C-alpha cells in the first residue's frame, strides 16, 4: 500500500532519502544534476514536496518523489517535477503520484518530462495533459569547430563580470531581453548573488558587452558542469548558459559575437563538449546555433493543465 506525505520542508533524513532516489534516477536516466553531497538541485528547492513510500517501519522505501512549486513560473503557472525510482517503475507509482499532484495543484499547471520519456507521454495522455512546451538541448564538439574571433558592433567592447558592481546592470538587460520567458524573466539580483555562491560560478566566463556610454547592452554567462557518468560520455561539459541582448542593441550581430566569445572561452578551458538549452519554437535561435555546429541531443517537455 502506498503512503503519500506532503511536506513544505524536508527533514535531514528525508532529504537523504530524496537524494538517494534522485541519484538512482541519474544513474539510469542521466538526470537530474544531483551530487552525493550538498543541497538538492534548484528545481527541487522550496515547498512543496510529495513523498510516495511503500512498506512499513524499517522496511519503508521511497519509490517516488514529486516537487510542486506553488509560486509558479513568471506567468503564475504552478510547476511540478516527478521522479520514480528506477527499481520501482512500471508498478503504478508514477500514475498514483501524478494523480496526487494534480489534485493538490490549483489553477494552471506545468509538469516537466526531462528527456521526453515515453512513459511520461503515456501518463500525460491518461490525465488529459497537453504537450505545451519543448526545450531543446543542443550540443557540439568544440574540437571540430572553427569558431572565429567575435566581430563586435562599432562602439561595443567586451569585458568580464565584476561581482558587487554588475548585478543590477545584468538584471536590467535580462528583464528586457527575456520578458517573454517563463523562468528567466523572473531572475533577479538576489538570484544572481545566490548563483555567485555556487561552486560552478566563474566570473571569468561571464562576458559583458558595453556601449560607448559604459552601459551594459548584452551578456553571455557560461557554465561548466562536472562529469556525469551517465550523460555526455562522462566528461565535463561547458554550457552556453544565458545569452541576453538588450532589444535596443539587437540586429547588429552582438548576440552572435557574445556567443562566440563564450564558446572560445569554454574551448580554451579544455571543454570538448558544449551544450545549450533553447526553446523548441524559437526557430531563429535554433538556426543560429545550428550554423555554429550545434545539433539537438535531447528534448525536455512540459505538459500542461490549463493555460
Note the pLDDT of residue 185. 85
Cell 556525469, located at residue? 228
Which of 35-44, 68-77, 121-130 comes out lowest in average pLDDT?
35-44
Note the pLDDT of residue 151. 94
225 marked ligand binding residue: no
* DSSP conformational letter for 231: B
Task: Give the cell for residue 222.
Answer: 557560461
End-to-end CA distance of the chain: 34
152 marked ligand binding residue: no
Whether 18 has a pLDDT exceeding 90, the answer reads yes
Q: How many of the other CB atoms lie within 10 Å of CB of 281?
A: 10
Whether 300 has a pLDDT exceeding 80, the answer reads yes
Note the pLDDT of residue 42. 85
pLDDT, mean of residues 272-296: 94
Note the pLDDT of residue 251. 84
pLDDT tens digit sequence for 218-241: 999 999 998 888 888 889 999 999
Whether 257 has a pLDDT exceeding 80, the answer reads yes
Whether 96 has a pLDDT exceeding 80, the answer reads yes
Note the pLDDT of residue 186. 87
pLDDT, mean of residues 70-95: 94
Q: What mean pLDDT, rounded, does the chain reach?
A: 93
190 marked ligand binding residue: no
Whether 50 has a pLDDT exceeding 90, the answer reads yes
Between 208 and 40, the more confident residue is 208
297 marked ligand binding residue: no
Note the pLDDT of residue 57. 83
Whether 254 has a pLDDT exceeding 80, the answer reads yes
164 marked ligand binding residue: no
216 marked ligand binding residue: no
pLDDT, mean of residues 30-39: 84
pLDDT band at 34 (very low <50, low <70, confident <90, very high): confident
244 marked ligand binding residue: yes
Whether 38 has a pLDDT exceeding 80, the answer reads no
pLDDT band at 191 (very low <50, low <70, confident <90, very high): very high
pLDDT tens digit sequence for 148-165: 999 999 999 999 999 999
254 marked ligand binding residue: yes
277 marked ligand binding residue: yes
Backbone φ, ψ for residue 115 (5° rounding):
85, 5
Note the pLDDT of residue 111. 97
Q: Which residues, other chains included, contact 194 with Cβ-Cβ below 8 Å and sequence gap of 6+? A: none
pLDDT, mean of residues 140-145: 92
83 marked ligand binding residue: yes
Note the pLDDT of residue 152. 95
238 marked ligand binding residue: no
pLDDT band at 245 (very low <50, low <70, confident <90, very high): very high
82 marked ligand binding residue: yes
245 marked ligand binding residue: yes
pLDDT tens digit sequence for 116-129: 989 999 999 999 99
pLDDT, mean of residues 18-29: 94
Residue-range domains of the chain with CATH: 2-128 (3.40.630.30), 138-299 (3.40.630.30)
Note the pLDDT of residue 199. 87
Note the pLDDT of residue 59. 85
CA dist., res. 180 & res. 177, Å (int): 8
233 marked ligand binding residue: no
Q: How many of the other CB atoms lie within 10 Å of CB of 202?
A: 17
239 marked ligand binding residue: yes
CA dist., res. 24 & res. 186, Å (int): 31
Q: Are 290 and 283 in contact (CB under 8 A)?
A: no
Amino acid at each position: 500500500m502506498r503512503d503519500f506525505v506532503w511536506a513544505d520542508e524536508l527533514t535531514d533524513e528525508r532529504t537523504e532519502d530524496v537524494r538517494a532516489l534522485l541519484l538512482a534516477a541519474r544513474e539510469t536516466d542521466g538526470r537530474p544534476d544531483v551530487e552525493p553531497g550538498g543541497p538538492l538541485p534548484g528545481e527541487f528547492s522550496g515547498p512543496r514536496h510529495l513523498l510516495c513510500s511503500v512498506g512499513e517501519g524499517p522496511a519503508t522505501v521511497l519509490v517516488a518523489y514529486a516537487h510542486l512549486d506553488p509560486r509558479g513560473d513568471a506567468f503564475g503557472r504552478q510547476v511540478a517535477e516527478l521522479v520514480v525510482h528506477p527499481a520501482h517503475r512500471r508498478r503504478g507509482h508514477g500514475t498514483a503520484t501524478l494523480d496526487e499532484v494534480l489534485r493538490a495543484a490549483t489553477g494552471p499547471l506545468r509538469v516537466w518530462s526531462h528527456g521526453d520519456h515515453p512513459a511520461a507521454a503515456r501518463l500525460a495522455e491518461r490525465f488529459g495533459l497537453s504537450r505545451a512546451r519543448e526545450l531543446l538541448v543542443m550540443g557540439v564538439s568544440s574540437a571540430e569547430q572553427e569558431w572565429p574571433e567575435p566581430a563586435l558592433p562599432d562602439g561595443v567592447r567586451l569585458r568580464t563580470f565584476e561581482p558587487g558592481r554588475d548585478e543590477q546592470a545584468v538584471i536590467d538587460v535580462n528583464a528586457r531581453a527575456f520578458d517573454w520567458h517563463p523562468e528567466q524573466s523572473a531572475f533577479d539580483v538576489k538570484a544572481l548573488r545566490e548563483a555567485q555562491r555556487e561552486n560552478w560560478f566563474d566570473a571569468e566566463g561571464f562576458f559583458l558587452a558595453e556601449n560607448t556610454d559604459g552601459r551594459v547592452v548584452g551578456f553571455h554567462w557560461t557554465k561548466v558542469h562536472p562529469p556525469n557518468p551517465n550523460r555526455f560520455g562522462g566528461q565535463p561539459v561547458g554550457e552556453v548558459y544565458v545569452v541576453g541582448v538588450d532589444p535596443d542593441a539587437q540586429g547588429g550581430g552582438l548576440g552572435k559575437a557574445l556567443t562566440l566569445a563564450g564558446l572560445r572561452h569554454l574551448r580554451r578551458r579544455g571543454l570538448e563538449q558544449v551544450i545549450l538549452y533553447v526553446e523548441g519554437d524559437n526557430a531563429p535561435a535554433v538556426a543560429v546555433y545550428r550554423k555554429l555546429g550545434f545539433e539537438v541531443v535531447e528534448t525536455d517537455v512540459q505538459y500542461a493543465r490549463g493555460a
